[in-house]
């Protein structure tokens, strides 16, 4: 049971605040509804009796928000090369309402977009997943939408650069690793 003023997440829609709990008569049936104020002045009605069943949950706290940001800084997880399967898998992650799964979708699709672009459907999915993630992090971090979007974009760009630098681009003779770890040559001598 949630209360007025609670900050919650409505799967596939994002985070919002419960503005009111009202009794409504819809199709001849009286039922209590959460009136949820979503970003962009949108209001959504969710039946109180079905809220948990459809995945409505409290927003994450500071620690969980930090974990979400760290997920954005990791390498992408394996995705199907088949567009249809990849789309279905990502849609399931989004429908779960799990913020970590949504962060995974955002990072993976952002990487794919940087590498070779996305189809129209996946571009829309990336945009929706990012909006859902941003809406929750705005409330969890008490930050502006612009600050959170910039944080997400920067974290993904840094991780993309880190994980997509090819080994051919690194000259082992001048790398930092070689300066600290001596490597044996095939002739028995050591590089220092």
185 has pLDDT over 90: no
Confidence of residue 153 (pLDDT cuts 50, 70, 90): very high
Containing structural domain, residue 44: 7-56
Q: Could you identify the residue written with the tokens 């930090």? A: 66
CB atoms within 10 A of CB 106: 28
Considering the domain architecture, whether residues 78 and 161 belong to the same structural domain is answered as yes
Total number of domains constituting the chain: 2
- Asked whether residue 131 is domain-assigned, the answer is yes
Exposure string of 171-186, with b = 16+ CB inside 10 Å and e = fewer, is eeeeeeeeeeeeeeee
Task: Assign residue 142 the CATH number of its domain.
Answer: 1.20.58.1290
Structure tokens at 121: 């459907």
**pLDDT tens digits, one per residue of 34-45:** 999 998 889 999
179 assigned to some structural domain: no
Looking at the chain, the whole-number percentage of residues with pLDDT higher than 70 is 85
Q: Are residues 67 and 150 in the same domain?
A: yes
The pairing of beta strand 29-38 with beta strand 42-47: antiparallel
Instruction: Specify the CATH number for the domain of residue 26.
Output: 2.40.10.170
* Domain co-membership, 47 together with 69: no
In a domain? residue 156: yes
Cα 6 to Cα 13, 44, 139: the distances in Å are: 16, 14, 11
């Amino acid at each position: 049971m949630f209360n007025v003023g609670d900050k919650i997440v409505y799967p596939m829609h994002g985070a919002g605040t419960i503005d009111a709990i009202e009794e409504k008569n819809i199709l001849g049936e009286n039922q209590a509804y959460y009136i949820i104020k979503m970003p962009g002045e949108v209001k959504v009605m969710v039946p109180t009796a079905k809220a948990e069943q459809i995945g409505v949950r409290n927003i994450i706290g500071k620690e969980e928000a930090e974990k979400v940001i760290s997920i954005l800084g990791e390498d992408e997880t394996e995705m199907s090369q088949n567009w249809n399967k990849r789309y279905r898998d990502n849609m399931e992650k989004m429908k779960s309402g799990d913020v970590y799964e949504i962060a995974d979708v955002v990072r993976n699709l952002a990487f794919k977009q940087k590498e070779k672009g996305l189809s129209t459907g996946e571009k829309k999915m990336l945009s929706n997943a990012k909006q859902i993630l941003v809406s929750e992090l705005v409330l969890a971090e008490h930050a502006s939408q612009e600050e959170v979007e910039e944080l997400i974009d920067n974290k993904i760009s840094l991780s993309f650069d880190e994980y997509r630098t090819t080994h051919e681009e690194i000259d082992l003779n001048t790398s930092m690793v070689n300066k600290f770890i001596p490597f044996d040559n095939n002739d028995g001598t050591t590089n220092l």
